[in-house]
Structure 1
Amino acid sequence: MNKFWMSVIGIIAGIIAISNLGSIIGLALSGVIIYIGVHYYLKSVSTAAKIWWGFVAAVGALSAVSNVPAIIGVLAIGVLWYIYKNWNGEPVSAPAKNDPFTNFEKQWAKLNK
C-alpha cells in the first residue's frame, strides 16, 4: 500500500476515532463501574450488599451496551496504529513473551554448540 492510500485511510480512521471518542470514554467508564460492582460483590458478606453491588454491576453492563459504537472507534484506533507502524516499513508483530521454557531452549542450544 503506497503512502497516499495510507494517509487517506489514516485521515478517515482519525476522523472516525475522534467522532467516537465520547462513546469510547463512556465504554471505559462503564467497564470501571462493572469492575467495581463485581469486585465488591465478591467481597461482600451480607445479602443486601450483594444485591446492591449486583445492581451496580448491572447498571454498568447496561451502560456498556449503550456504548457499542465505541467498538468502531477502537477499531479505527487500531487501524491508525497499523498505519503508523507500516509508514516506514516497521514490521507489525505481537510483543515477545518472556516464556521460561523458550528461553531455556535457546540457552540449551547455545550450550550444546
Structure 2
Amino acid sequence: MKKFMLFIGGLVALLILLANLGPMVILGLSVWLLYIIFKKFIKSDSAAGKVGWVILGLLVLSVTFSNMFAIVGLAAAYALYLVVKNWKNVEEDPAVDVVSEDNDPFTNFERQWAEINQ
C-alpha cells in the first residue's frame, strides 16, 4: 500500500513538474540575465549607461516575478526526488514475524548463565 501511495505521489509530482517546465526555464534564464545586467551595471562608468542598465534590469525583473509560480515546479521536482529516494527504502511487512535472537529465551538463558559462571 505504501508503494502505491508513493507511486501516486510521484505521478502527481511528475505531472506538476512537466506542467511548470517552461516557466522554470524562463525563470532560470531571467535570473541569469539579471546577474549579467548587474555585472554590466557595476562596470558602467557613465550615468546614462547606469540608467539604461537599471531600466533593462527592471524589465527583466518583471519577467522574473511573472514566473515565480515556477517555484511550484521546483517543489514538485524535490517531491519527486523524495519519492524516488523513499521507493528503495520501503520494505513489505512480512506475513510471519521472525523471532530475533534477542527475544529468544534460550539465548537469554545462555547469556545469563555465562555471566554467572564468570
Show CA shifts across 1:72-106 (max 9, x none).
1111001011111111129xxxxxxxxxxxxxxxx
Report how many aligned residue pairs link the two structures: 90
Identity %: 33
Q: Which aligned runs of 4 or more in structure 1 are off by greater than 6 angstroms?
A: none
Q: Which runs of no fewer than 5 residues in structure 2 stay unpaired? A: 91-118
Show CA shifts across 1:48-85 (max 9, x none).
11111111211111001111220111110010111111
How high is the TM-score relative to the length of structure 1?
0.74
- Tell me how far apart the structure 2 counterparts of residues 85 and 42 of structure 1 sit (CA, whole Å): 43
Q: Larger RCO: Structure 1 or Structure 2 (Cα < 8 Å, ≥ 6 residues apart)?
A: 2
Q: Which has the higher Rg, Structure 1 or Structure 2?
A: 2
How high is the TM-score relative to the length of structure 2?
0.71
Look up the equivalent residue of 2:23 and give its one-letter code.
Answer: S
CA contact (8 A) 1:20 1:70 kept: yes
CA-based RMSD of the aligned residues comes to 1.6
Match of 1:65 in 2: 65
- Tell me how far apart the structure 2 counterparts of residues 33 and 57 of structure 1 sit (CA, whole Å): 8
Match of 2:48 in 1: 48
- Tell me how far apart the structure 2 counterparts of residues 13 and 76 of structure 1 sit (CA, whole Å): 5
- Tell me how far apart the structure 2 counterparts of residues 48 and 64 of structure 1 sit (CA, whole Å): 24
Q: Which runs of no fewer than 5 residues in structure 1 stay unpaired? A: 91-113
Match of 1:22 in 2: 22
- Tell me how far apart the structure 1 counterparts of residues 46 and 18 of structure 2 sit (CA, whole Å): 44
State the 1:14 CA deviation.
0.3
State the 1:13 CA deviation.
0.5
Match of 2:7 in 1: 7
**Counterparts of 1:93-112 in structure 2 under 5 Å?**
none
**2:102 pairs with 1:89:** no
